[in-house]
């Protein structure tokens, strides 16, 4: 057996009863778990068939199983490795005979909700985001075991959300299917109603190990507790400081209250970080200690002091990105492969400017998250609809998209022909002075817009025509932050400065799309040798020699939506996760302005620099 520290040995050799293993970043968690499984089998005499190992993703379940098989090289050791969903589906298949084809795919779920929304004529410009949010909220409602009448939606009015939810459930049932969230609900109900089946499963899975326990939701926990009883040989491993999936329903407080549910639970700390230098571990520890809702931990590095954590104060976003690109080239020149370097951002929207800069520097990169093309954003499409209408396009579909942005109170029934004619439109409004005035003003705005170059044209649409004011009203209606929409428009408006005409800009967009898609294809298929661009969420579980954390500014990280204390603590945990991805070199950037808007440094910078 390899050398293990005291905390790891305690985790490996614990046999009877519940145990919580707090596993700090880079602490050899997976190694400890697979050695624990082997210890249970070879030293404690536990049958492999009685061991259930549960993770949150198929990839991590497969990795854990592979690591275990490599360790034992005994194919008779057949333990069960799976995700929560795969375990729940196995139980439902055993009890009810469910088949895989009865599980609603994510694409089917999306299409179903899309149809429901369109049939109900729900007014939304950002349909894709709305559907994603409804899917997320349905999952959270079921995972938190909240009744429909007590659930408050943040993306629709409560009554409308309830109507959409009820219709969705009826449609899924009519198809004879269940979705991933239903697997949890049905499994919970089954185990509650059928003690005979529960007893059978409790006997089968006498030892349960749960990885990444900080990401568990309430319903998953309730099912796990039922399966583990009455012996409660439940071993949980995770790090409450790395719980960053609240938007998916993860509840770190479950881990914090574990010893209330299991007062006799043993506890161990995997507190030695074998990944990061001491500089990084101590800086990250200062930061995370500002969170109140957490287990206090003494973390140490197996390495000594090396490179200090460097914080860079830049004037503009362009300065930041150019500096990062030059640093990447410098490290690469010193022999560090690009694939061992990562650029980490808070949201995938922030990936766009740095990806564009790396293309300009001809630095290869690979994306962990898909970067939405800014020209596909619904607000930007509206800008181009206006400019195309000003350039002479008169098709009815285009006019329907902009006619009431801002509200001109013009009915779609006024547009009776495929091609819009302002004279006929005016005639159709005869007798309604307010409508005639709005049509004349609309025509005047398009004539004025037709004479402007791209940059002043965007400004004219936003300020003079009133698109910004419309978006603020729309954001209130949709319960979203208007500043996020304005940030997109600010970015596009900055891009507009480079073009002298709409035609030139349109050609620039075509060339940009082509070049960007080529770069993305190269980064995802042809090679894995590029710099990794990732969000904080997607960076979890990864490690690199060099890490650059961008945009450490208030409103970016912590993100502007985070208001409550628990939300701010999760933002701090995300920053902590980002910092601890770095082995040796960690660079953090903040900018004085972002697309001409002044910014403040993130509070996290002060926290990681503070003296104890």
107-213-587 Cα angle (round to 5): 85
CB atoms near residue 479 (< 10 Å) = 12
Looking at the chain, the whole-number percentage of residues with pLDDT higher than 90 is: 71
At 524 the pLDDT is: 58
Q: Between residues 445 and 425, which one has the greater pLDDT?
A: 445
The SS3 call for residue 91 is helix
With b for 16 or more beta-carbon neighbours within 10 A and e for fewer, the 323-356 pattern comes to bbbebbeebbeeebebbbbbbbbbebbbbbbbbb
Q: Which two tokens stand for residue 85?
A: 């969903």
3-state helix, strand, coil in the chain (%, to 5): 55, 15, 30
221-227: list long-range contacts, CB under 8 Å, 24+ apart: 221/251, 221/254, 222/145, 222/188, 223/88, 223/184, 223/187, 223/188, 223/191, 224/54, 225/261, 226/188, 226/191, 226/192, 226/198, 226/202, 227/52, 227/191, 227/198, 227/201, 227/202
pLDDT at 525 over 70: no
pLDDT tens digits for range 483-498 = 889 989 998 999 999 9
183: left (phi over 0), alpha (psi -120 to 50) or beta: alpha
- Alpha-carbon distance of 306 to 287, in angstroms, equals 19
Within 263-307, strands assigned E span 266-270, 272-273, 300-301
Report yes or no: 50 and 204 within 8 Å, Cβ to Cβ. Answer: yes
523 band by pLDDT with thresholds 50, 70 and 90: low
pLDDT at 412 over 90: no
Is the peptide bond between 406 and the residue preceding it cis, with omega within 30 degrees of 0?
yes
What is the average pLDDT across 590-612? 87
Report yes or no: 579 and 586 within 8 Å, Cβ to Cβ. Answer: yes
The SS3 call for residue 150 is helix
At 196 the pLDDT is: 94
At 440 the pLDDT is: 92
Report yes or no: 309 and 608 within 8 Å, Cβ to Cβ. Answer: yes
481 band by pLDDT with thresholds 50, 70 and 90: confident
List residues bridging with 598 in a β-sheet.
593
Report yes or no: 265 and 19 within 8 Å, Cβ to Cβ. Answer: yes
At 611 the pLDDT is: 59
Distance of CA 274 to the CA centre of its chain: 27
Q: Between residues 50 and 429, which one has the greater pLDDT?
A: 50
Q: Which two tokens stand for residue 100?
A: 């895989």
Distance between the two ends of the chain, CA-based, in angstroms? Answer: 38
Mean of per-residue pLDDT scores for the chain: 91
pLDDT tens digits for range 344-371 = 999 988 998 999 899 889 899 998 888 8
Report yes or no: 271 and 32 within 8 Å, Cβ to Cβ. Answer: no
Three-state SS string over 170-195 comes to HHHHHCCCECHHHHHHHHHHHHHHCH
- Alpha-carbon distance of 410 to 436, in angstroms, equals 10
DSSP state of 612: -
Least confident of 3-7, 144-148, 592-596: 592-596
- Alpha-carbon distance of 12 to 451, in angstroms, equals 74
At 612 the pLDDT is: 52
527 band by pLDDT with thresholds 50, 70 and 90: low
At 170 the pLDDT is: 93
DSSP state of 246: G
At 436 the pLDDT is: 87
What is the average pLDDT across 63-69? 91
pLDDT at 554 over 60: yes
Report yes or no: 204 and 227 within 8 Å, Cβ to Cβ. Answer: no
Choose among 20, 81, 22: nearest CA to 54.
Answer: 81
Alpha helices, H only, 429-539 = 433-450, 454-459, 467-478, 482-496, 502-521, 536-539
pLDDT at 439 over 90: no
């Amino acid at each position: 057996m390899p050398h293990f520290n005291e905390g790891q040995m305690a985790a490996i050799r614990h046999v009877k009863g519940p145990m919580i293993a707090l596993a700090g970043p880079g602490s050899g968690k997976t190694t400890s778990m697979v050695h624990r499984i082997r210890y249970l089998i070879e030293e404690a005499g536990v049958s492999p068939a009685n061991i259930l190992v549960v993770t949150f993703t198929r990839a991590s379940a497969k990795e854990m199983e592979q690591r275990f098989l490599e360790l034992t090289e005994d194919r008779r050791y057949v333990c069960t490795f799976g995700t929560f969903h795969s375990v729940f589906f196995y139980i439902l298949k055993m009890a009810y005979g469910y088949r895989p084809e009865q599980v609603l795919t994510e694409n089917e779920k999306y299409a179903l909700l899309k149809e429901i929304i369109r049939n109900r004529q729900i007014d939304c410009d950002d349909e894709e985001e709305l559907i994603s949010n409804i899917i997320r909220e349905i999952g959270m409602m079921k995972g938190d075991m909240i009744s429909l009448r007590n659930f408050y939606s943040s993306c629709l009015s409560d009554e409308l959300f309830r109507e959409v939810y009820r219709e969705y459930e009826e449609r899924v049932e009519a198809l004879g299917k269940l979705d991933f969230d239903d697997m949890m609900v049905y499994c919970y109900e089954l185990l509650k109603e059928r003690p005979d089946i529960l007893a059978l499963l409790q006997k089968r899975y006498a030892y349960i190990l749960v990885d990444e326990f900080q990401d568990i939701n309430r319903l998953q926990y309730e099912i796990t507790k039922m399966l583990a009883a009455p012996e409660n040989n439940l071993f949980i491993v995770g790090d409450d400081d790395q719980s960053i999936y609240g938007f998916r329903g993860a509840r770190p407080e479950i881990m914090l209250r574990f010893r209330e549910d299991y007062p006799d639970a043993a506890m161990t700390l995997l507190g030695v970080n074998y990944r990061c230098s001491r500089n990084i571990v101590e800086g990250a520890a200062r930061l995370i200690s500002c969170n109140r809702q957490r287990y206090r931990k003494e973390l140490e590095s197996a390495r000594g002091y090396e490179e200090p954590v460097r914080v860079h104060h830049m004037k503009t976003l362009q300065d930041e990105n150019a500096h990062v690109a030059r640093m990447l080239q410098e490290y690469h020149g010193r022999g560090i492969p690009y694939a061992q370097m990562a650029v980490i951002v808070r949201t995938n929207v922030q990936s766009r400017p740095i990806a564009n800069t790396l293309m300009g520097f001809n630095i290869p990169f690979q994306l962990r998250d898909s970067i939405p093309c800014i020209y596909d954003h619904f607000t930007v499409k509206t800008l181009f609809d206006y400019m195309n209408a000003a350039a002479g396009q008169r098709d009815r579909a285009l006019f329907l998209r902009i006619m009431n942005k801002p509200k001109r109170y013009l009915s779609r029934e006024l547009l009776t022909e495929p091609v819009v004619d302002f004279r006929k439109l005016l005639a159709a409004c005869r007798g309604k002075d307010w409508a005639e005035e709005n049509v004349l003003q609309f025509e005047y705005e398009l004539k004025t817009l037709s004479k402007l170059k791209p940059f002043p044209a965007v400004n004219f649409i936003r300020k003079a025509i009133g698109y910004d004011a419309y978006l603020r009203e729309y954001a209130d209606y949709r319960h979203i932050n208007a500043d996020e929409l304005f940030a997109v428009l600010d970015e596009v408006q900055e891009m507009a400065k480079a073009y002298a005409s709409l035609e030139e800009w349109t050609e620039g967009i075509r060339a940009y799309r082509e070049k960007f898609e080529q770069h993305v294809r190269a980064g995802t298929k042809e090679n894995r040798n590029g710099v990794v661009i990732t969000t904080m969420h997607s960076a979890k579980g990864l490690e690199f020699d060099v890490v650059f954390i961008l945009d450490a500014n208030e409103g970016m990280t912590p993100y502007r939506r985070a208001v409550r204390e628990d939300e701010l603590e999760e933002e701090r945990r995300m920053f902590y996760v980002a910092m601890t991805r770095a082995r040796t070199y960690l660079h953090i950037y903040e900018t004085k302005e972002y697309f001409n808007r002044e910014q403040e440094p993130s509070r996290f910078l002060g926290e990681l620099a503070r003296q104890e």
